[in-house]
Chain A
Amino acid sequence: MKFNLSKGPYLRSRQSTTKKMLALSASLLIVWIASIVSHSLVYEFYYGMMAFLIGLTSLVTTFLVDILMAFSKGKRGKEIFKFTLKSYSYVTALIFALCLPVGTPLYVVAIGAIVGTLIGKHLFGGFGFNIFNPAAIGRVFVGLSFATKLTVPNVSMYDLSAGATVTGAANWTNIKLPGSYMFKDLFLGGYPSALGESFTILLLIIGLFLIITGIANWRLMVTYLLTISLTALGLSFAFNTGNEIFYVLKHVLTGGILFGTVFMITDPVTAPKDPYGKILYAIGAGFLTMLIRVNSSYPEGMAFSLLIMNILVPTIDSLVRGVTSRKTWLKYSLITSFLVISCLLNVVIAKNITFNEGTAYVNSEANIVLRGDTYE
């Protein structure tokens, strides 16, 4: 008797990549529409239109890049269309556009989209082969090159000094938010930020939806948020900020962290494949995010930390090979100790080193804003 073994995989999920990507882009579309509406309500109709145009520019540019790449690969006719669809560039384009502030000039959006898709994705071999998150590559490139051009209405350049818009304009370590803000603003937005970042209640709902449907990995999201919350709690105790819960919420809900948690860190291509590796990856990203936020002259570290951790993914993958299925006690104790170490390290560094006097966390002026007086 002869057994014919077909090639793996044998276990098939009903979800295909296309379906997952469609659900993801539908959620991104909702966030985009919400940001258009909220920008026209909070500021004026003109900014709502700009929010729409930024997304459109990013989408069109990435499609053009895709078509160009298809053409250079020798595809003609219908194959070009197929290649463009299979690259799933609309997801990258929307994520990239939604982490830009509304004052970004459109040509900057186009340059960032080209760099993100061309260098971040196609030069590594296209969708599925990229080692860096393409949207994060575009965001960091734009943030480092055109820091002064990423502006938010009603915030003067003086407030945005030190390139304050790396992934989120709203950062309380060195920006004094103009006007005063209510507690509900933490959830509903309305303070200066990037397009998709401030409407956090919507992001939370979408995140929950993505977890329940199994489109996004819950381990990445939960561990990342846990690391950041723990570190924020540690910092809060170490510096006597008072009102600890409020302080932690402010760290998690302002800036690009929640948007990054829902849409960027969960990117299945660039994250480690192993569940245990995913947890280590998220802890590392959380540690670096807080390190950059609190101890460097950059106010936001979401995209940077993601790119740094992307480099380490092969190392993590080889370290945890085969660990998932055995040695449970070792696994959990390692995860706990990593969490504690990352929290303690951040606190110790913040206590001892001030990289940049004036913007540093421990500076008394910054502390006044940190205590959340403006939020109450």
Chain B
Amino acid sequence: MNKREIVKNGLFKTNPLFILLLGMCPALAITNKVDNAIGMGIAVIFVLVLSNVVISLIRKIVPSEIRIPVFIVIIATFVTCISLLMQAYAYNIFVSLGIFLPLITVNCIIYGRAEAFASKNNVLDSAIDALASGGGFAMAIIMVSVVRELLGTGHIIITNLFNSDMVLFSTINMWNWLGNLINPSNHTFISDFFSKHSISILVEPVGAFLVLGFLIAIVNVIVNKTKLRKESAGVSK
């Protein structure tokens, strides 16, 4: 397998959330804010890359009979590391992720990649695969959270992970800037309109199921379309 194919597989073809339906628990539970999704995505990429690299390094030493306990120890170690690091440097994200941070230990994506890829391939390929799969997962949960936060609260606010007071991006500011050009005396009228007409149920757990279901449906439609096109192209050749 060449490297380009690995990246393509991880991000799109076998996207962990949309195609393989792995890691559903965090994807449903913490995607009510874009901030949380970014934090979870980074944590998963961190654990996935390190555990994949280490497992790939020791794949020839570890006999297959005891590989599962060895994987568990390695993955749990890295998860504990990142949860300690987050508690120290990104406390707000640590609090809002709550129990779902330690639960990365039992995330199927990480076991899946360790078992299916890292234990059979060399270090560089494993690292690339981890980045691609983790990236695919992060991309997917960020997509879900963007839809949920935008429709559920009427705005998206992305803050610096390490300093929650520092706002990196906010649709409120954007609308206020635009509102200032149109009507300087009441420049918040656009953002007020959006927050007034938000569908608050989407921030609730029910909304997670609805949004994820619709996104998976859309992705499947696209995947089927491209498959059909490729098949028909193959036939005409």
With a cutoff of 8 Å between Cβ atoms, the chain A residues found around residue B14 in the complex are: none
Q: Does B178 contact A (CB under 8 A)?
A: no
With a cutoff of 8 Å between Cβ atoms, the chain B residues found around residue A107 in the complex are: 197
- Residue of A107, A119, A145, A146 most packed against chain B (CB within 10 A): A145
Q: Does A111 contact B (CB under 8 A)?
A: yes
With a cutoff of 8 Å between Cβ atoms, the chain B residues found around residue A141 in the complex are: 201
A300 CB to closest chain B CB, in angstroms? 17
Q: Does B210 contact A (CB under 8 A)?
A: yes
Q: Quick one: CB contact mask for A121-150 with B, threshold 8 Å, 1 for yes?
A: 000000000000000000001001110000
- Residue of B201, B202, B204, B210 most packed against chain A (CB within 10 A): B201
Q: Does B199 contact A (CB under 8 A)?
A: yes
Question: Is A144 touching B210 in the complex (CB atoms < 8 A)?
Answer: no
Q: Quick one: CB contact mask for A79-114 with B, threshold 8 Å, 1 for yes?
A: 000000000000000000000000000010001000
A106 CB to closest chain B CB, in angstroms? 12
- Give A141 to B204 CA distance when docked, in angstroms: 11
Number of interface residues of A (CB under 8 A): 7
A301 CB to closest chain B CB, in angstroms? 17
B63 CB to closest chain A CB, in angstroms? 48
Q: Does B200 contact A (CB under 8 A)?
A: yes
- Give A77 to B9 CA distance when docked, in angstroms: 41
- Give A146 to B210 CA distance when docked, in angstroms: 17
Q: Quick one: CB contact mask for B181-214 with A, threshold 8 Å, 1 for yes?
A: 0000000000000000101111010100010000
A372 CB to closest chain B CB, in angstroms? 35
- Give A110 to B189 CA distance when docked, in angstroms: 23
Question: Is B199 touching A145 in the complex (CB atoms < 8 A)?
Answer: yes
Question: Is B199 touching A111 in the complex (CB atoms < 8 A)?
Answer: yes
A100 CB to closest chain B CB, in angstroms? 16
**Mostly helix, strand, loop or mixed at chain A's interface?**
helix
With a cutoff of 8 Å between Cβ atoms, the chain B residues found around residue A146 in the complex are: 199-200
Question: Is A119 touching B204 in the complex (CB atoms < 8 A)?
Answer: no
- Give A119 to B209 CA distance when docked, in angstroms: 12
A123 CB to closest chain B CB, in angstroms? 8
Given contacts A119-B210, A144-B200, A144-B206, 10 further A-B contacts (CB under 8 A): A107-B197, A111-B199, A141-B201, A144-B201, A144-B204, A145-B199, A145-B200, A145-B201, A145-B202, A146-B200
Q: List 14 A-B contacts (CB under 8 A).
A: A107-B197, A111-B199, A119-B210, A141-B201, A144-B200, A144-B201, A144-B204, A144-B206, A145-B199, A145-B200, A145-B201, A145-B202, A146-B199, A146-B200
- Give A144 to B210 CA distance when docked, in angstroms: 14
With a cutoff of 8 Å between Cβ atoms, the chain A residues found around residue B210 in the complex are: 119
Q: Residue on A with the closest CB to B203?
A: A145
Q: Which of A215-265 contact B (CB under 8 A)?
A: none
Q: Quick one: CB contact mask for A143-178 with B, threshold 8 Å, 1 for yes?
A: 011100000000000000000000000000000000
With a cutoff of 8 Å between Cβ atoms, the chain A residues found around residue B201 in the complex are: 141, 144-145
Q: Residue on A with the closest CB to B210?
A: A119
With a cutoff of 8 Å between Cβ atoms, the chain A residues found around residue B202 in the complex are: 145
With a cutoff of 8 Å between Cβ atoms, the chain A residues found around residue B197 in the complex are: 107
B201 CB to closest chain A CB, in angstroms? 4
Q: Residue on A with the closest CB to B152?
A: A145
B214 CB to closest chain A CB, in angstroms? 9
With a cutoff of 8 Å between Cβ atoms, the chain B residues found around residue A145 in the complex are: 199-202
B212 CB to closest chain A CB, in angstroms? 13
Give the 8 A-B CB pairs with smallest separation, nearest first. Answer: A145-B201, A145-B199, A144-B201, A145-B200, A141-B201, A111-B199, A119-B210, A144-B204
Q: Residue on B with the closest CB to A140?
A: B201
A356 CB to closest chain B CB, in angstroms? 19
B195 CB to closest chain A CB, in angstroms? 12
With a cutoff of 8 Å between Cβ atoms, the chain A residues found around residue B200 in the complex are: 144-146
- Give A145 to B197 CA distance when docked, in angstroms: 9
- Give A312 to B197 CA distance when docked, in angstroms: 34
- Give A146 to B202 CA distance when docked, in angstroms: 12
- Give A111 to B200 CA distance when docked, in angstroms: 13
